Amino acid sequence: MNGKYYQILTYLNTHKEKDFSQRELANALSMSLGSVNSYINQLTAESYLDTDGKLTEKALDLFIQAKPDNAIILAAGYGMRMVPINTLKPKGLLTIHGKPLIEKTIEDLQAAGIHKIYIVVGFLKEMYEYLIDQYNVTLIYNEDYATKNNLASLNKAYKYIHNSYIIPCDVYTTFNPYSSSEICSWYMMADQPEDKNGHYTVNKQLHIVKTNSSPLKMVGISYVTGVSEEILKHNLQLMSQDEQYDSVYWEKALFTNNNHVIGKIVKPETCYEIDTYEQLRNIDNQADELQNDAISTIVYTFNVKPSDIKNISVLKKGMTNRSFLFECNNQKYIMRIPGEGTDQLVNRQEEYDVYMAIKGKGLCDDNIYINPTSGYKITKFINNSRNCDPDNIDDLKKCMKKLRDFHNMKLQVNHTFDIFKHMEFYETLWEGNPSIFNDYEDTKKKVYELKEYIDAHPSEYCLTHIDAVCDNFMISTDEKGQEKIDLIDWEYAGMQDPHVDIAMFCIYAMYDRAHVDRLIDIYFEDKCPQETRLKIYCYIACCGLLWSNWCEFKRNKGVEFGEYSLAQYRYAKDYYKIFKEEIKNV
């Protein structure tokens, strides 16, 4: 049915007690008088309206069949773009004008007579628990929230999808978009151009269609019933079993091969997606969450107002920290916020001491701010920069020279990074849980056998980066075309055999043996003694188990590293074997 027909029937159903002239109806629905006349005639001809313009039993039956049954609120994700707030609470609990977003949504639903409400949770799920008692809602846990997008979340509520509102937790509306009466499937869109990632608009019949130009802004609130509901459920089941859809939004399942969804167009000033810190600030500059330690630190450091902090955006999620980019005084900066469980992994006072030791040494730009207690750090953003490419020989030669020059400085600090002690320490953080690897104890025993050879072939200890991986070498070019290499992220650095840094680069780059030997030759300029090469093999095995243990701890915190985690454990086993074979020839 033409979406305009649904629009007229819905309006007449909502205002049953009133009589409307066609002109009044045209004004109320922003349609031309001629269009309304045509639609009314067609609806009458199809027996949805009687000759007096009243809804017939046939029309009322459509409302009975599509009557709302429940609502599903999607609230599992990290809200990564919500930095720096997302380290403290999930997006659904952000407050707008004194009320958490999700509470407003629940109260709007209940005011419309919708009392069966399911909330799919994941990140900081415990913070939503109070809603069970306060609003009698049902929580559904999505254990894949860290690795999959919200299509997986909706699939967790699959069995409840029937005449359902589907609602993101981060949308604020100035009106109540829910009703006890619906007639068709719809998806809310704002009457404003979408960003470059938009793909949908509505045609003259109000059906949602793909477009390559002038897409509308997708708000995210939706209602599904009938044919669209069945299509959605069918696609959810198929897509959830296919890894290629792990990162897609649930709308992909709704709009695929489906022209039964009507675009519900609203004015942009009536609905807001709260996706970033700045969007929250623009809607409610008194929101509690704006009083944030990270923002306060920036305000203090630069002596500016919060409104002077602009263009906040998340950087790629790191393995240890959450970092975000911001602008202040026409300059870009990066602020680091320690990630989940980082307080157990990194001694921030020792990190501070390292940065004091390398200050002014040309290894990287000096910090603008670093706090040895909280771990907050502010640095200048490096323009025109890229990471070292571990497959590019020229990059490797430049970066290994940088690393070699650093080691030759023989810098000193008062703490040591002991690989074996850290290996044991990370294991204690598992809190008594066994390793996920069945042969862990045997692998660990073999790795410890390598300690004898390492101790028998010592190098002079000096400040060692420990995390000197390809991503921590930043290659940039200044305005004069001069190339510069910065070695960044020193939080694990300490006194150690500098050859450990070579091993760490290899295992992060997931090198095979040929590439490992190539890197060793580049660092030593083809003059590496065989006993040192064998020692680096030992370090690869030891560091592989070290980071495997680290990954197991992070896994228990809900952070998965997939192939990287498996590869580290393989390095422990494979390079033990390689060492044992090669030592026979010495």
Interatomic CA distance for residues 509 and 506, integer angstroms: 5
Q: Which residue ranges in the chain fall short of pLDDT 70?
A: 79-83, 85-88, 193-198, 257-259, 289, 316-321, 339-343, 558
pLDDT of residue 197: 54
Cα–Cα distances (Å) from 351 to 113, 315, 357, 494, in that order, read 56, 22, 10, 8
Residue 283: count of CB within 10 angstroms of its CB: 14
Per-residue confidence (pLDDT) for residue 315, from 0 to 100: 73
Q: For position 130, what pLDDT does the model report?
A: 96
Check residue 496 and give its pLDDT.
98
Tokens coding 383: 């323009």
Q: What is the pLDDT of residue 427?
A: 94
| All domains in the chain, ordered by first residue | 3-64 (1.10.10.10), 66-273 (3.90.550.10), 292-381 (3.30.200.20), 384-583 (3.90.1200.10)
The rounded distance, in Å, linking the Cα atoms of 138 and 117 is 6
261 close to 228: Cβ distance less than 8 angstroms: yes
- Tell me the one-letter amino acid at 448: Y
